[in-house]
Homo-oligomer: A and B are copies of this chain.
């Protein structure tokens, strides 16, 4: 339920409408906690019912400006200092790595190289952004810069990992794919058992998603 806390966090900086919050989410939280318009308006209602925020003023086009209440501040404080964040649980890109033995080594290698390129691109983008942000010396950007740095470091680590993984494949000798399926292997399903007949089992007890 972090959406609610993200909203409280933004409202703690000053009153805002649903529309204002939407812009703030798009501009600053898009990569950390995205939210849709629909979600925001629904949650504004719930937060109001719960007494954590209240309508402060009504404006021109049905605009409702919300402010955080004392109860809301307390909830925000509690979340910030007493609730342990839950780590990201799912990683689509890493999931594919588990099944890379199903394609031929060239494709596995290509996959990892695409990961490296994607991470490098993100790293470059964030480095550019950091220059911009650092230049404007906004005191509010202080903590924002911490999260930017996080992004820079994580994308660098991912890039380095993917590059290392490619080297591992190259060094380790080509593994044949366990169960070739290929784009051209379009033989109709015959109902015969697959080449491997042992029950599915784990390759290893796994790594974490990182967080």
Contacts and interface: CB of A to CB of B under 8 A. Distances in A.
A24 B143 CA distance: 41
A139 interface: yes
A45 interface: no
Given A77-B182, A193-B67, A200 B14 contact: yes
Interface residues of A, number: 127
A151 B205 CA distance: 12
Interface of A: 2, 5-6, 9-17, 20-21, 24, 27-34, 51, 54, 56, 67-71, 73-74, 76-81, 84-103, 107-108, 110-111, 114, 119, 122, 126, 129, 133, 138-158, 160-161, 164-165, 168, 172, 175, 178-179, 181-183, 185-191, 193-194, 196-211
Given A13-B179, A13-B200, 18 more contacts: A15-B193, A27-B205, A29-B98, A31-B208, A32-B95, A33-B91, A70-B181, A70-B188, A77-B102, A81-B110, A98-B147, A141-B203, A145-B204, A150-B158, A150-B207, A154-B209, A157-B157, A157-B210
